[in-house]
Structure 1
């Protein structure tokens, strides 16, 4: 490696937003019970708006948030097949240039995910994330998007349903292994440009672990070690739940309760202006509300 190459890499790494990160395009759940999870999403204000052209995949949306339910099994290894308990299996990140972002991530040590693209499908580059999850890079999200190519709109459905109580992406909670906090912090910092919030800056009603802020300042990652979280399970590393921002948490809770959503009411976890946590569905699907004006 030449001195010029080292200087070039140092210059790229010094950029405040090296990938041109611009938020979350979608979050994907995998499950063998797509209808059951779909009912949960509809209770949370999402609406089904499109179906994949060739796979058992359905797109739900509200406001600027896209959630994909993936029940497709044909191309998956047995150990990656969807299970009854829904799991978050992917986050798609909006970037300036998907190919360049993908290559930069590989250059910095990321593991590539082989893609199996059918005829007339987009090739969306991805790297391995925590557990069996994937991190996709998407640069088609404005006037012409990935949904215009791979998905067919559901007839008579509003493709842009409004957000309930101003809900929007706030972040993702990731459970990590013991003594892995610095490893995962370095992963997100070196590959994407995330930075760590000061210890005193916290959000919501579960202000534990470490919070990382995206370089585009539009969403957060909360890293929680096994002894620091709620319902920590068997200690496996995973993407555990979505965080939804809203300007008025009690108003959002009231609106969601009218739709049948229940919230945790335990010591330290009661509904408050700063946040709320839904009770789990389908073996562990939860949503966290956080006060945030977006």
Structure 2
């Protein structure tokens, strides 16, 4: 599979862009004219610089307002084209993109446009160049790839072909199956972009909100499947206009782009005939059966405090590692690990982030296959020295730098606790409070990193993403989106902070990076759990009494239920599927906290309660300037 990306898709000057594109694994690059014009080097030197990076210039773009112009504008358009051809020959590329005319003086007519392209094709042929025509979704006369193809067909010139762009086709909801009848040799390049579904002006939508395939809501897979049906085997190129990407890390965005194309190619290869895409085979997206464990890094002193919190939550020590300073706590299906080693990745993580949930273990169908798929999608493998009697657990680095381990039931990994730990015989959670399993893990990151996290998880695991919702913090808005599997055994809430004054933003700033901000545990009876917690000395997050007064009116709650919620500081929500109960701990350190939930068929995450929860948490945070405790 040959992959390319337009320089306009990422930030930086031209050398920075080329370096990021090459390191991400692309084989080609589209040179966007403004990137070339803003760089102080002649086209021959730029071409050499591209080739020194191991890249091919797949396209020079764009050439605007060409076809259907009245004289003297038509003659000027051909003169401009000759100048573009001069630059292309020095750059060392043979293909130019001509986008459909948007000029108010452009004349309509398919035959008129075809005549112009036939003449332009003849000029290009003399120089060994090719011309690709693209229908802009907002073109004055041509805004549909079917009309653009008809012009190319009527031009009937070997050096004139079609350029297909998924955004322009999908934004206008044009039937993608119309692509299937286009001869593959007349498709000169395919440009790909996704976008969130937003009802706005097409030009503004395109120029500011495009994103990588798989990050938005457009049916890019259906588009690409139709392209694959033609037998097209040329470059798949990304052309992304996005305000966040222009201000982000060029290396991160380029890596996302290449990952998105690999994921897209994998989906098409599973639908299309063998060999159409030419992508090496990889395991299919992986089903996650649940969270096997969550591991914290801590110092001995802070581990003692964290252990105290866990005991109050009903967790008991289930075992200690045979050779390392690692302790296992257990309740129901939940395994929590505290690592106080003085070396290794856990210790390094502690030195940077303080006490944190730095690693997650996922139970999957096949741990080895999961790691293999993740590596194929450019995830960074994680390895560290394995001691005597220890198992090698497949693992990768997550987007935020944490670790994701994989365990399964088909290898020795199913017995990892018994193999590596001295388990306490007959261990029973005597003071358990009814916590059964991990309901969801909440990870917090900067808002402009959210698309990266979503693409990472959805490309590797068999999960779906929910619609983005706004979490109202008294200091601003936090964007929240969920990735989850269909049976609810694996749920991640991803919370993107736009400023550091929100609770989420404070967590990122004070912990020096993204990470797990809270763990939510499931119970079958939250009132019984709250009672047991109270006996253990648990102090719940104190919710404003005003919340409960409004709750009664909003849902028409029975006064008895309302009183029980109020007395236990339990929040409540309801959707068309059922009820939801939430109980929170105060924040520990710089914003980490625990949540206990009960789902009675409810499918959401209590977003409407977030403002009340966050306000309460901020009241409990340490005053600014006070030392950590």
TM-score by shorter chain over 0.5? yes
Shift of 1:73: 1.8
Shift of 1:81: 4.1
Equivalent of 1:209 in 480, 488, 491: 480
Q: Which runs of 4+ in 1 moved over 6 A?
A: 2-8, 11-14
Shift of 1:82: 5.3
- Once the two structures are superposed, residues 204-259 of structure 1 have per-residue CA deviations (whole angstroms, 9 ceiling, x without a partner) of xxx96112213553131111112496354244311111011123333322321221
Q: What is the 5 A alignment of 1:96-107?
A: 96-107=365-376
The corresponding residue for 2:595 is 288
Shift of 1:88: 0.3
Judge conservation of contact 1:181–1:225 (CA < 8 Å) in 2. Answer: yes
The corresponding residue for 2:289 is 22
Please say if 1:230 is aligned against 2:512: no
Q: Calculate the TM-score normalised by the size of structure 1.
A: 0.83
Whose radius of gyration is greater, 1 or 2?
A: 2
Which secondary structure does the structure 2 equivalent of 1:292 belong to?
strand
Which secondary structure does the structure 2 equivalent of 1:188 belong to?
helix
Judge conservation of contact 1:172–1:220 (CA < 8 Å) in 2. Answer: yes
Equivalent of 1:183 in 452, 474, 493: 452
CA distance in 2 between partners of 1:163 and 1:77 (Å): 28
Distance 1:99 1:252, change over 3 A: same
CA distance in 2 between partners of 1:255 and 1:161 (Å): 11
Please say if 1:35 is aligned against 2:291: no
Give the number of aligned pairs.
286
The corresponding residue for 1:9 is 266
- Which gives a bigger RCO, structure 1 or 2 (Cα 8 Å, sep 6+)? 1
CA distance in 2 between partners of 1:225 and 1:149 (Å): 39
Judge conservation of contact 2:440–2:521 (CA < 8 Å) in 1. Answer: yes
Judge conservation of contact 2:289–2:489 (CA < 8 Å) in 1. Answer: yes
Distance 1:103 1:231, change over 3 A: closer
Judge conservation of contact 1:85–1:283 (CA < 8 Å) in 2. Answer: no
Judge conservation of contact 2:341–2:347 (CA < 8 Å) in 1. Answer: no
- Once the two structures are superposed, residues 267-293 of structure 1 have per-residue CA deviations (whole angstroms, 9 ceiling, x without a partner) of 569522421210123554410122226
Judge conservation of contact 1:73–1:82 (CA < 8 Å) in 2. Answer: no
Which secondary structure does the structure 2 equivalent of 1:23 belong to?
strand
Aligned-pair RMSD on alpha carbons?
3.4
Please say if 1:192 is aligned against 2:430: no
Judge conservation of contact 2:523–2:596 (CA < 8 Å) in 1. Answer: yes
The corresponding residue for 2:570 is 271
- Once the two structures are superposed, residues 140-183 of structure 1 have per-residue CA deviations (whole angstroms, 9 ceiling, x without a partner) of 4899521111111135x515768523432101111011222222
* Unpaired stretches in structure 2, ≥5 consecutive residues: 3-230, 234-261, 272-283, 472-477, 549-568, 573-580, 602-629
* Unpaired stretches in structure 1, ≥5 consecutive residues: none
Judge conservation of contact 1:196–1:212 (CA < 8 Å) in 2. Answer: yes
Shift of 1:7: 10
Q: What is the 5 A alignment of 1:121-136?
A: 121-136=390-405
Distance 1:83 1:106, change over 3 A: closer
